[in-house]
Chains A and B, each alone.
Chain A
């Protein structure tokens, strides 16, 4: 079964850091680009970051550039998001999503169930 399982969310104070993980199974992980997409409570989807199959191409939304770092470990079939200098506006459900391409340009055909990040003092 094709599956993405996120973990690492929780309650964190403003200015602190958090690292999200996404475990992939059921497909050849290193054949595809991967992404993080977030959704604030009651709001729409926002693309956060994407990484190509070999980590050679990486992109970030302007809202997180310089604070968040995406990475992947193909040997472990895992995707990560290091989130530093967290702000209240980063509060959201964070989804891991698989791309249909090797590059960060295709569609998101597989989604996890998300992990909730709450930034509050």
Chain B
């Protein structure tokens, strides 16, 4: 159960697009279409942004999109806004009723 690998930080200017990667292995990300992404603002509980790799829950902006290629999943945020500044975490099913999170990525909107 090794944590998925995410960049520690990414940044972008308002209106730009950014992509956060999430690299796992053939035992987790690569084996299942069950990657989810969470947004967490300071002092708040995480919020589900993407599930099953690319699906958006009701109420989540279509500026958020997800994809996967091999053992790497990605979260793209287009049209960056100030309120997007937060920590982002990926999570994957890893088999045998276990889950694994990424280390988290701090997004700074310049």
Judge whether A95 and B45 touch: CB under 8 Å: yes
- A105 surroundings in chain B (CB, below 8 A): 32, 34, 93, 97
Judge whether A113 and B98 touch: CB under 8 Å: no
Map CB proximity to A onto B42-81 as digits: 1 under 8 Å, 0 otherwise.
0001111001100001000000000000000000000000
Q: How far is the CA of A61 from the CA of B89 in the complex (A)?
A: 17
- B93 surroundings in chain A (CB, below 8 A): 104-105
How many chain A residues touch B (Cβ–Cβ < 8 Å)? 27
- B100 interface hit (Cβ, 8 Å): yes
- A44 surroundings in chain B (CB, below 8 A): 3, 87, 89, 101-104
- A97-121 interface (Cβ within 8 A of B): 100, 103-109, 111-114
Q: Which residues of A contact B (CB under 8 A)?
A: 35, 37, 44-47, 50, 52, 57-62, 95, 100, 103-109, 111-114
